[in-house]
Amino acid sequence: MWVPSQVIEWFTALRKDADATADVAKEAILGFREDLAAVRAERDSLRNQLVAIQINADWLRVRFNELEKENKALLEKAYGIKLPVPEIQPSRNAQPALENFSFEDIGDDMARQLGLPTYDN
C-alpha cells in the first residue's frame, strides 16, 4: 500500500509536537510538585509555630491571673482593702464564624461604620 510522503511527514510532525508538549507538561508537573512540597513544609512550620504561640499565650494568661490574685491577697492582708481581681479570659471564638459570610455588598453606610473604605463617585 502506498502512503504519500506528505501524510507521513504530517504524522511525524504531529508526533514531535505531542512529544514536546508532553515534555513541557512533565516539567510543569514537576515544578508544581516542588512548589507544593515547599508550601506544605511552610504550612507545617507555621502550624507548629501557631501551636507554640498558643501555648505561650495560655501560659502567660494563667500566670497573669495568678499574679493578680496574689496581688489582691497581699493588698487585702496589708491594707484591708477588698478589690476586684481583673482576669483575662480565653477567647471562645478564636475562629471567625463563616456561616454568615457573604460576598454581597454591605453598603456604604455599613462600610463606614466598620471603618472600611468607600468608593463614592
Whether 108 is covered by a domain: the verdict is no
Mean per-residue pLDDT of the chain? 87
d(CA 72, CA 65): 11
Domain that holds residue 30: 5-88
Q: What is the pTM of this model?
A: 0.53
- In a domain? residue 30: yes
Check residue 97 and give its pLDDT: 58
Q: Output the CA angle 93-48-34, nearest 5 degrees.
A: 115
The answer to whether residue 105 is domain-embedded is no
**How confident is residue 72, by pLDDT bands cut at 50, 70 and 90?**
very high
* Residue 16 domain-assigned (yes or no): yes
Q: Which residues contact 106 (CB under 8 A, 6 or more apart)?
A: 114
DSSP letter assigned to residue 95: S
- For the chain, how many structural domains are there in total? 1
User: What's at 11, amino acid-wise?
Assistant: F
Residue 65 CB: number of other CB atoms within 10 A?
15
